[in-house]
Amino acid sequence: MAKLNIKDVTLTFGGLAALSNVDMDIEPGLITSIIGPNGAGKTSLLNCISGFYHPTSGEIHYDNNRLTHASPHQVSSLGIARAFQNLELFSGMTVLDNLMLARHQKLKYNILQAMVFFGKASREESKNRQYVEEVIDFMELEPYRKQTVGNLSYGIQKRVEVARALTLAPELLLLDEPMAGMNIEEKEDMVRFIIDIQIEREATVVLVEHDLGVVMDISDRIYVLDFGELIGSGTPEEIVKIPKVIEAYIGED
């Protein structure tokens, strides 16, 4: 499993610094959480990792691959997938169709084979359909597989968003506030799925989340951002003892 290394990353928009000299080492096989107040730069950092933004300076490496100026497609091809804070689903399509479309990147046949849809194209489609069905079963979406995404509850749509990322069989999964807007029961389900993704699917998970209770319960390591700067890192037990973190994020009595 590969390690994600973020070295001295700065991201500016005009005169505004969204990230300032951020260093992180995301160890393989762990759940690593990135926390901080609104506007701390958490989503901006995920955008840099996934290729939607390119850092103004600094370096991002995944194993021996340089991600600093890679495109989202190139990042995805390395086994990195992302579930977005704002749902990136086709609301007029079914759950199954959304996941099959996301899996399209894994199809290995040319245009001619696709037009004939016989032999290799048929086998590839069947293989990928089987993988998507496994993801549907893993994320307990079987009752919704033929339902239109736009008709589902928000909590189920968030689950579909995570499933969409899982169809790419990622080794590194970036989750941007997967529990935002959920009730307690939905959050408990999502926590269970995240732990199962780490253990059963052997994925490295990078989690951005505001629910501090969830973060403390499931994280192996935590990084804390404030106004684009890294102000603390460590285990959950270490994080709660850092004065800057207490002041900026947890709050003082």
Maximum C-alpha span of the chain: 69
- Residue 233, domain CATH: 3.40.50.300
Indicate whether 102 belongs to any domain. Answer: no
To the nearest whole number, what is the mean pLDDT of the chain?
Answer: 89
Q: What was the pLDDT predicted at 17?
A: 93
Place of tokens 């890192």: 233
* More confident position, 86 or 117: 86
Percent of the chain with pLDDT over 90: 71
Task: Kindly tell me the burial class for residue 65, based on how many C-beta atoms sit within 10 Å of its own C-beta (0-12, 13-18, 19 or more).
Answer: middle
Q: How many CB atoms lie within 10 A of CB 133?
A: 15
Q: Are 193 and 162 in contact (CB under 8 A)?
A: yes
pLDDT tens digits, 105-163:
655 544 444 444 555 556 666 778 888 999 999 999 999 999 999 999 999 999 999 99
pLDDT over 90 at 194, yes or no:
yes
Q: Where does the chain show beta strands of DSSP type E?
A: 4-13, 16-26, 31-35, 57-62, 65-66, 80-83, 172-176, 204-208, 221-226, 229-234
Indicate whether 118 belongs to any domain. Answer: no
Indicate whether 14 belongs to any domain. Answer: yes
pLDDT over 90 at 50, yes or no:
yes
Dist CA 170 CA 49 (whole Å): 14
Place of tokens 């590969």: 2
Indicate whether 104 belongs to any domain. Answer: no
Q: Which domain holds residue 69?
A: 4-79+170-250
Mean pLDDT of 54-61: 96
* More confident position, 61 or 14: 61
Indicate whether 198 belongs to any domain. Answer: yes
Dist CA 161 CA 89 (whole Å): 7
Task: Kindly tell me the burial class for residue 212, based on how many C-beta atoms sit within 10 Å of its own C-beta (0-12, 13-18, 19 or more).
Answer: middle
Q: What was the pLDDT predicted at 170?
A: 94
| Window from 17-26, 119-128, 181-190 with minimum mean pLDDT | 119-128
Indicate whether 120 belongs to any domain. Answer: no
Q: Are 40 and 226 in contact (CB under 8 A)?
A: yes
- pLDDT grade, residue 87 (50/70/90)? confident
> Nearest-CA neighbor of 233 among 19, 24, 4, 11?
24
Indicate whether 231 belongs to any domain. Answer: yes
Question: Apex CA 135: angle with CA 82 and CA 200, to 5°?
Answer: 85
Indicate whether 71 belongs to any domain. Answer: yes
pLDDT tens digits, 197-223:
999 999 999 999 988 889 999 999 999
* More confident position, 127 or 196: 196
| Window from 75-84, 103-112, 222-231 with minimum mean pLDDT | 103-112
pLDDT tens digits, 26-38:
999 999 999 998 8
Q: What was the pLDDT predicted at 129?
A: 84
Q: What is the domain count for the chain?
A: 1
> Hey, what are 76's tokens?
């995805």
Q: Are 137 and 144 in contact (CB under 8 A)?
A: no
